[in-house]
């Protein structure tokens, strides 16, 4: 899967946050805060035409931040090994397998 253009949600997490792949944690956090304020669904309660898009964008922003702000999830994502549909316990089990088999 091409991480520059797609993820499980349809967009690369780096693209969703508008950051480079080598972004620091502070860059990730700053981009998240800016976009979360812009697309928070509560801002669009009075505009139903945009409310649906805002909700979707906000969810994508949340998911991207959740992965990219977590070192182990980000490493697995970058290596195309992270699946956001797996629970955190499964991710922890998988990362040990990948680390010990030399895949990361």
Distance CA 15, CA 34 (A): 14
For the range 41-48, what are the long-range contacts, defined as Cβ-Cβ under 8 Å and sequence gap of 24 or more?
none
| Residue among 5, 2, 16 at smallest CA distance from 65 | 16
Do the beta carbons of residue 78 and residue 104 sit within 8 Å? no
User: Looking at residue 2, what is its pLDDT?
Assistant: 43
Determine the topology of domain 13-100 in CATH.
Answer: Helix Hairpins (1.10.287)
Spatial neighbors of 37 by CB under 8 A, at least 6 apart, are none
pLDDT tens profile 34-90 = 999 999 999 999 999 999 999 999 999 999 999 999 999 999 899 886 666 665 555
Domain ranges of the chain: 13-100
In terms of pTM, does the model score above 0.85?
no
Exposed / middle / buried, residue 64 (Cβ in 10 Å: 0-12, 13-18, 19+)? buried
């Amino acid at each position: 899967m091409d991480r520059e253009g797609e993820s499980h949600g349809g967009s690369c997490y780096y693209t969703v946050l508008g950051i480079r792949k080598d972004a620091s944690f502070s860059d990730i956090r700053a981009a998240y805060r800016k976009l979360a304020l812009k697309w928070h669904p509560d801002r669009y309660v009075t505009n139903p035409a945009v409310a649906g898009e805002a909700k979707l964008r906000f969810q994508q922003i949340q998911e991207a931040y959740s992965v990219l702000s977590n070192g182990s999830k980000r490493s697995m994502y970058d290596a195309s090994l992270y699946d956001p549909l797996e629970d955190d316990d499964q991710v922890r089990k998988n990362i040990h397998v990948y680390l010990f088999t030399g895949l990361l």
